[in-house]
Amino acid sequence: MLRICSLSELVEDEGVRFDTVTPPIAVFLTSAGEVYAIDDTCTHQDASLAEGWVEDCRVECPLHASTFSLLTGDVDSPPARRGVRAHRIEVVGDDVYVQLSALAPNLPPGVEY
C-alpha cells in the first residue's frame, strides 16, 4: 500500500485532491471519522470531486450534481452515467495508506493522464 497523506491533513466532511497518483484521487474524512478514497475526476466532465458536498457517505459533483458513493464509487443519477473507482484505505496512526484499484479509470471525454 501507498502512504498518501496524514490523517491531520483531512478536514471533516471535506475532500482533498492528491495528484501524486495518476489519475488523481480524492480522499475524504466523514463526520463519522471514516476515511475513503475515490478517483477525483467526475466521469461526466472534468471536475474535482474533492470540492463536492459530502453527506451520507456520498459526494456531489460540484459541476452538475451527480453524486458518487464514497464506499463503492457508484453514481446515482445523470448527467454522469459511469461510477468512479473506489480505492481501499487503511489508517495506521496518523498515516493514511491507499491501495489503488486495479480497474481501468472511467475518465470523462478529453481527459487523459
Partner 1 sequence: MIIEQLDKPLPGSLMPTLAGGYYTDPNVFAAEQERIFEESWFCVLHGSDIEKPGDYKLVEVGREQLIVSRNRKREVRAFFNVCRHRGMRVCTETEGSRRNFQCGYHAWTYDLDGKLIAAPNLTKMPDIDRDDYGLRKVHVREWLGYVWVCVAEQPPSFEETVLSEIVTRLGEVESIDHYQIDTLKIGKRICYEVEANWKLIIENFMECYHCATIHPELTEVIPEFAQGWAAQTNTGLGAEFGEDIKGFTVDGSAGVGELPLIAPNQDRRYFAITIRPNVFINLVPDHIIIHRMFPTSESHTYVECDWLFLPEVVDAGTDVSKSVELFDRVNLQDFDACEKTQPSMASRIYRDGGALVPAEHHIVPFHDWLKAELNA
Give the interface with partner 1 as residue ranges (CB under 8 A): 13, 41, 45-48, 51, 53, 60-64
Rank residues 93 and 109 by Cβ distance to partner 1 and give the closer one. 109
Cell of 102: 486495479
Rank residues 62 and 105 by Cβ distance to partner 1 and give the closer one. 62
- How many whole angstroms separate alpha carbon 101 and alpha carbon 103? 5
Rank residues 5 and 26 by Cβ distance to partner 1 and give the closer one. 26
Q: At its nearest, how many Å lie between partner 1 and the CB of residue 95?
A: 27
C-alpha distances out from residue 110 to 35, 41, 44, 49, 113, Å: 30, 12, 10, 17, 10
Q: At its nearest, how many Å lie between partner 1 and the CB of residue 16?
A: 13
